Amino acid sequence: MRPSTLESEFFPDPKDPRRFARIRDYFFICGYGTVRDNEKILKEHGITHVVDCANLVKARKAEDVEYLHIAVQDFATEDISKFFHLTADFIERAVRGVRGIVCAYCAAGVSRSATICLMYLVIKEKLNLREAFRLVHRARPIICPNLGFWHQMIDYEKEHNDGKATVKIIFGSNGAHPDVYPKCSL
């Protein structure tokens, strides 16, 4: 699949928040502003399913696209873990069942949708959390799930990996953060 015109010409910088980022040939992440008034980008990439984490009132829907809306705020105290299996199952049914293509988005494509993408890769593709982060971060370098979401992802990994986690929260002069973040971004 070749990069889209919008992806390669209008938003060449991978750190541009408007970029429509490909994680896998069948799996994309972006911010709501990228797709809000641009059904063309969904059609251009063959998107058949969307995980909407934006929690916006009456977000516009594209025709012939199946949506899963999850109501979650981007707060460290918010329980996003209750959506891990629901969203992973939705994505899996789309890509394995009907050979669909999925896009996950939230307001900025940085925290909520990134968390959902990471956990799909952990739950269904059996990547560890560190590997999943590297893959999604390579596609969209601006991902930055909030610290509460990181704690929930790490707890999930521990529960399903004999108490072991591949990502740790570390404390430094800039506060607490996961040890996967590049030093230059802190």
- Catalytically active residues, by annotation: 106
What tokens does 156 get?
Answer: 């999930």
* Span 31-40, pLDDT tens digits: 988 887 678 8
Fold of the 22-145 domain: Protein-Tyrosine Phosphatase; Chain A (3.90.190)
Helical segments of 77-182, H only? 84-92, 112-123, 129-139, 147-159
Q: Where are the domains of the chain?
A: 22-145
* Span 137-160, pLDDT tens digits: 999 999 999 999 999 999 999 999
Is this model's pTM higher than 0.85 or not?
Answer: yes
Rounded CA separation 24/71 (Å): 25
Model pLDDT, residue 114 = 98
